[in-house]
A and B are shown apart, each in its own frame.
Chain A
Amino acid sequence: MEGHPYGYNIPISEKTKSVPWEEKVRVIEEVKSDFRYEEFLFGCLNCGVCTASCPSNRFFDYSPREIVQRFLEEDIEVLYDMMHEYIWACSQCFTCWIRCPFVNNPGGLVIIMREVAVRNAFEATKDLLKPYGRVLLKVMTTGNQLSADMLQPDFFPDWGPKMLDNMENVRAKRMAIPFDVGKSVKTAWEVSLETAIEMYHIWRETGIFEMLEKLDPNLYNVIMDIVEENEERWEELMEEEEEE
């Protein structure tokens, strides 16, 4: 029988099998070298409380107990395999964390695994995050993750007919929001240019742009066009102010 004798019932993919052992060890060591790893993993009774209360477990083949157990057993093959699709089922609600008698944080382990998966630009990660591009574009360029112009009814027919009414005259509706700096369609609130410039600096210094370039070169190019345009505009403004 394929799968793991202790409960991980997903057959190890052919792709994982074909990856050299040393590469799999390297990736898992990258996860374990994160400073948070030791703060998120302690012991495990195998009580299953985490999995019993996990929302993703109800609809996906996903179990936080498996995450913890595989790390404790240093099951490189399964952990590497999990990093391609399995981990993306987690809802990041941290119910597992609050309920674990050992204060393990399986959701926290998952976020480290996701970060490493993105950094290594796994193909499955690229595919999974493709539909997420609009959010990435928005957050990387404006510092806002959501805006009114992202909620077009065509994208969300399952949200019902009220969405159509909601989005009618959306510019005017946004203007009529009765607090300042909220009157924007393209962002959740009006973000000052100097704030955006500071944020771009943070992305550069912390390797986020580099990470994006590996993940989605096309999206990266679109983002960098906006970033550079804003940076030029800022420089011009500074020059104008100096002249004044």
Chain B
Amino acid sequence: MGHGKSPYLRYADPAPFPILNKHSHYDHLFEEMHELEEKGEILVYKITEENRPVEVYTRTGRIKTVPTAKLWHHKSCGQCGNIPGYPASIFWFMNKFGFDYLNEPHQTSCTAWNYHGSGTSNPVALAAVWLRNMHQAWKTGYYPLIHCGTSFGSYKETREQLIFNKELRDAVKPILKKLGRLTEDGRIVIPQEVVHYSEWVHAVRHEIADLYEKEGKPKGIDVSNVRVAIHNACHTWKMMADDYPYDPEVYGGQRPAASTAVVKNLGAQVVDYSTWYDCCGFGFRHILTEREFTRSFALQRKLKVIAEEIQADLIVTHDTGCTTTFEKNQWIGKAHGMYNPVAVMSDVMFSALACGAHPFKIVQLYWNCSNYEPLLEKMGITNWKELRKEWEDTVKHIAELEKEGKYDELMEFFKEYDLYEPYSKTHDGFKRNRSATADMPLFKS
């Protein structure tokens, strides 16, 4: 059902679940966004049929359009730097489903982790970084998919600030103009929807469940006995709270639906616990420089509660900081008799494991400090030791070739390695001498 003048603002009629907040400021946001578009001040980067859109509901009953194909991957620095199996699992699914996408080096992170941690930025800089990245996506014709929860929250907030504040638009436009990051007729590019990867997982949850049936189960994988605690990331659902999926089948539409829905669709057991709404303790600055706070909060408010109340096998997350906080802060609990080992990984990593992805080559569990081995056994991935050996041999082989300076052989090896399954596509024309950070002889281009 249409609502007001804006084509970007639609509500389900009747409401899909009881709506507690019927007067969302998002109504004004989408109306204003449309007006600015009509005035020619902004270009709204639209989601089209090419993006294979799927409709979901937000907590106000608004219909949010989630693109599922032809996506520009706005990667997460925390995920790529610390949990590489996270983006690798996303790319793995994209390949499995045959979806077109672009993974290219012409992007920065949102820089918002730094902002929330240290205050060393400002709204104009954050807006300029966001709009530069969005312009790059628009230029390529691929729709931006935001991997990081903080980027997603920050970008939603920045969009609202830009739409409602002419001063901010006026401040950021000259900067973008110098960078060549306005449209030819001088408009800034704002995407129709800001979309998080967990929304993508939510939108394709039925395809994921089908893949589990077709490829996971025949390998002997069974998740039906896996007890899962869900942890929703604060910056996805508490920050700009009216813009994240809710669903009648997940707690009657009264809690965030992403992650819970896909785990339920796979047939695992989602088990409720009393501190589900609490944050993880990451704290941005705290995980690095106030670690006693981070570990105390994670241990006492989450890990201990989850162990005592529901004896979960796994905590499923959907953001970078939460995953890191929970998997890195378990071992230290031994110092206080508070060691409650539990596997920790994101929804997409667990889904990939269920669908038969390699636990080390794709899901990259080597990086994970949590006690994930019992989970693999329980899921029926009983050959995980062989798979880990296979992975370790690969790493050893690469290390030896590099040590011996056999770069041609390495390139050959990677050609084959990457052809084993084409994990990603790279924007053409990128050469290593154009890297700001080149430190490897092996960057493919």
Binding site for B on A (CB under 8 A): 35-36, 39, 53, 55-56, 58-60, 88, 91-95, 97-98, 111, 114-115, 117-118, 125, 128-129, 131-132, 135-136, 139, 141-148, 150-151, 156, 158-163, 165-166, 169, 171-199, 201-203, 205-208, 211-212, 215, 230, 237
A159 & B104 in contact (Cβ 8 Å cutoff): no
**When chains A and B are docked, how far (Å) is the Cα of A176 from the Cα of B394?**
8
B436 & A188 in contact (Cβ 8 Å cutoff): no
Residue of A nearest to B372 (CB): A162
For chain B, which range describes its interface: under 10, 10 to 19, 20 to 34, or 35 or more residues? 35 or more
B402 & A171 in contact (Cβ 8 Å cutoff): yes
- Asked if B412 is at the interface of the complex by the 8 Å CB criterion, the answer is no
A178 & B281 in contact (Cβ 8 Å cutoff): no
A132 & B117 in contact (Cβ 8 Å cutoff): yes
A–B complex contacts, Cβ < 8 Å, 22 sampled: A53-B278, A55-B279, A91-B279, A91-B281, A93-B238, A98-B237, A132-B288, A135-B117, A136-B118, A145-B111, A151-B81, A158-B295, A158-B331, A175-B410, A176-B391, A177-B364, A178-B424, A192-B430, A201-B175, A205-B178, A206-B122, A212-B120
Chain A residues with Cβ below 8 Å from B444 are 180, 183
- Asked if B282 is at the interface of the complex by the 8 Å CB criterion, the answer is yes
Chain B residues with Cβ below 8 Å from A150 are 81
**When chains A and B are docked, how far (Å) is the Cα of A82 from the Cα of B442?**
50
B330 & A160 in contact (Cβ 8 Å cutoff): yes
A160 & B369 in contact (Cβ 8 Å cutoff): yes
- Asked if B82 is at the interface of the complex by the 8 Å CB criterion, the answer is yes
Query: Which of B84-92, B348-356, B376-384 interfaces with chain A?
Result: B84-92
Chain A residues with Cβ below 8 Å from B283 are 55-56, 91-93
A97 & B435 in contact (Cβ 8 Å cutoff): no
Query: Which of B36-44, B258-266, B415-423 interfaces with chain A?
Result: B415-423
Q: How far is the CB of A47 from chain B (nearest CB, A)?
A: 17
Closest 7 CB pairs of A and B: A143-B108, A160-B331, A114-B119, A196-B436, A188-B80, A188-B81, A172-B399
Q: How far is the CB of B362 from chain A (nearest CB, A)?
A: 7
Chain B residues with Cβ below 8 Å from A60 are 293
Q: How far is the CB of A117 from chain B (nearest CB, A)?
A: 7
A145 & B77 in contact (Cβ 8 Å cutoff): yes
Q: How far is the CB of A33 from chain B (nearest CB, A)?
A: 12
Q: Kindly supply a per-residue 1/0 record for chain B positions 179-213, scoring 1 wherever the CB is within 8 Å of any chain A CB and 0 otherwise.
A: 10100000000000000000000000000000000
Q: Kindly supply a per-residue 1/0 record for chain B positions 308-321, scoring 1 wherever the CB is within 8 Å of any chain A CB and 0 otherwise.
A: 00000000000000
**When chains A and B are docked, how far (Å) is the Cα of A188 from the Cα of B442?**
15
- Asked if B47 is at the interface of the complex by the 8 Å CB criterion, the answer is no
Q: Is the interface of B mostly helix, strand, loop or mixed?
A: helix
Chain A residues with Cβ below 8 Å from B91 are 178-179
Chain B residues with Cβ below 8 Å from A184 are 437, 439-440, 443
Chain A residues with Cβ below 8 Å from B291 are 158
- Asked if B159 is at the interface of the complex by the 8 Å CB criterion, the answer is no
A192 & B122 in contact (Cβ 8 Å cutoff): no
- Asked if B438 is at the interface of the complex by the 8 Å CB criterion, the answer is yes
Q: Is the interface of A mostly helix, strand, loop or mixed?
A: helix
Q: By CB atoms of chain A within 10 A, which of B118, B136, B328, B425 has the most? A: B118
- Asked if B115 is at the interface of the complex by the 8 Å CB criterion, the answer is yes
- Asked if B340 is at the interface of the complex by the 8 Å CB criterion, the answer is no
Chain A residues with Cβ below 8 Å from B104 are 181
Q: Kindly supply a per-residue 1/0 record for chain B positions 245-276, scoring 1 wherever the CB is within 8 Å of any chain A CB and 0 otherwise.
A: 00000000000000000000000000000000
Residue of A nearest to B335 (CB): A158
**When chains A and B are docked, how far (Å) is the Cα of A159 from the Cα of B295?**
10
A195 & B108 in contact (Cβ 8 Å cutoff): yes
A169 & B399 in contact (Cβ 8 Å cutoff): yes
Residue of B nearest to A147 (CB): B81
Chain B residues with Cβ below 8 Å from A161 are 331
Pick from B75, B124, B361: contact of A206, CB below 8 A: B124
Q: How far is the CB of B420 from chain A (nearest CB, A)?
A: 8
Other A-B pairs, 4, CB within 8 Å; known A98-B238, A143-B107, A199-B129: A115-B119, A118-B119, A144-B437, A212-B120
**When chains A and B are docked, how far (Å) is the Cα of A118 from the Cα of B284?**
16
**When chains A and B are docked, how far (Å) is the Cα of A178 from the Cα of B419?**
10
Chain B residues with Cβ below 8 Å from A59 are 293, 296-297
B175 & A179 in contact (Cβ 8 Å cutoff): no
Query: Which of B9-17, B48-56, B161-169, B223-231 interfaces with chain A?
Result: B161-169
Q: How far is the CB of A153 from chain B (nearest CB, A)?
A: 11
Q: A94-B234, A148-B81, A206-B124 are in contact. Are A183 and B111 (CB under 8 A)?
A: no
